[in-house]
Amino acid sequence: MDRLGLCCCVVLALLLGGVPGWAIDLPPKAPLGLVWEANLAGQTDYQREVEALLVRYEEVTGHALVPGERAQVGLKVNTRSGPGMSTPPGLVRALMAALAARGYAHDAILIVDDSAHNLRAAGFLPALSRSGKSGKRFEGARVLALDSDAHYDPDWFYDSPLPSAFQQDSRLMLEGSSGRDALAEGAEARKSYLPLPLLFEVDFWINLAAAVDDPALGIDGVLANATLWNVSNSRRFLVNQATASAAVAEIAAIPELAERMVLNFVSLEAYQFIGGPRFNAIYTRSEPRLWMSSDPVALDRLLYDRVNTMRRLEGFPEIDPLPKQLPFAASLGLGLHERSRIRIDALALQHPQPEAPREPREPPRFEEAPDWLKRITPW
């Protein structure tokens, strides 16, 4: 899909109220600006929190997340920053269990990210030495690494004249072109291919973002995970903040990609406020909160505020101004970025109290040492 076609699709979608008229089977989205929050238990497996959040979504929208015509569901994880700052595997397991209870077989759940190496490092793919035993699976769910090039279609791409990052896509080095020729209309270097499974193979997909700062993006959060880490040839957009912000907003507005992204989750079990995008434990903080929303812009705004709060407390400069992908995406009708218009609905979950420590036992009593042993002089 070239830039002209993309713009036409975006304008048409906005004129039709944000959802194409033919897409009558799509799960509804919750109101923009509404964020649900669940408090996490001390040693959480996310099961109770995820189920409570999904039930609240179903109550508000009147729609149950049960299998539809395609009978598959996607989970877009983020493993870019390394094992310490990836989507928590426990959150993925909890969503798999909740979806299985609603009728989705584990084999019908697709876990998607852009790098096989990162998926393996984060534990979503088995080690290469064991890959023959379990295949490309995570506890029964299929794991799709987009850099295998098996999940793209030549007719579905985001077009941009920015030069390619050759170190990301080695195929582009084979074209043997550079300069104007490489960026001519229709050139491969201009294309970022879209993830076909999330467009045409699932009833809906859920975005499971991580939260870390990034020099080009400001915040590598919900919008970035749904866009830049969901397409090929994306590192070229990280040249500066302007190109990164424009690419995030424009990719997020592609109707076929946006219409089936029903929910976004962010766990604050671990987030990084400076030193990103690679994981750095020194600058990582933790809060017992899990956020869910249909509005990716609102979630990124909340993460932006969290990161800046921690920067102030630790004596670091704030991220300023507000990352431009937030107002850009909001102008396309994808969410709300003004903090005053974002509402957090906190769920009152009662977690079981941890067991009280047992009464200390008396130390064992030993017989008194015999007299002959007492007379021995130690060295």
Q: What is the pLDDT of residue 355?
A: 65
Beta strands in the chain (DSSP E): 34-39, 73-76, 109-113, 137-138, 141-145, 157-159, 191-193, 204-209, 212-214, 218-220, 261-267, 271-272, 284-285, 289-293, 343-347
d(C-alpha 149, C-alpha 158), whole Å: 15
Q: Are 67 and 108 in contact (CB under 8 A)?
A: yes
Query: The CATH number of the domain where 70 resides is what?
Result: 3.40.50
Nearest to 298 by CA among 8, 31, 6, 21: 31
Classify residue 335: in a domain, yes or no.
yes
Report helix, strand and coil shares of the chain as percent, to nearest 5: 40, 15, 45
pLDDT tens digit sequence for 228-266: 999 999 999 998 889 999 999 999 999 999 999 999 999
Classify residue 18: in a domain, yes or no.
no
Question: C-alpha distances in angstroms, 173 versus 181, 236, 361?
Answer: 13, 14, 70
Q: What is the pLDDT of residue 163?
A: 67
Q: What is the pLDDT of residue 367?
A: 64
Residue length, the chain?
A: 379
Nearest to 154 by CA among 185, 115, 194: 194
pTM: 0.83
State the burial class of residue 97 (Cβ atoms within 10 Å of its Cβ: 0-12, 13-18, 19+). middle
Q: What is the pLDDT of residue 176?
A: 44
Classify residue 369: in a domain, yes or no.
no
User: Domain residues for 147?
Assistant: 32-173+180-354
Classify residue 80: in a domain, yes or no.
yes
**What residues of the chain score a pLDDT lower than 50?**
3-4, 6-7, 10-23, 166-168, 170-180
Q: What is the pLDDT of residue 117?
A: 95
Question: Into how many domains does the chain fold?
Answer: 1
Nearest to 23 by CA among 233, 218, 259, 191: 259
Neighbours of 355 (CB within 10 A): 6
Q: What is the pLDDT of residue 164?
A: 65
Q: What is the pLDDT of residue 168?
A: 45
Classify residue 16: in a domain, yes or no.
no
Nearest to 97 by CA among 60, 54, 157: 54
Classify residue 375: in a domain, yes or no.
no
Classify residue 67: in a domain, yes or no.
yes
Q: What is the pLDDT of residue 379?
A: 54
Nearest to 323 by CA among 347, 346, 305, 341: 305
Q: What is the pLDDT of residue 172?
A: 46
Classify residue 286: in a domain, yes or no.
yes
d(C-alpha 48, C-alpha 377), whole Å: 63
**Residue found by looking up tokens 């302007």 in the block:** 242
Nearest to 81 by CA among 282, 280, 299: 280
Nearest to 110 by CA among 78, 85, 84, 76: 76
d(C-alpha 257, C-alpha 252), whole Å: 7
Beta partners for residue 113, in sequence order:
145
d(C-alpha 179, C-alpha 181), whole Å: 6
pLDDT tens digit sequence for 273-308: 999 999 999 999 999 999 999 999 999 999 999 999
Q: What is the pLDDT of residue 183?
A: 59
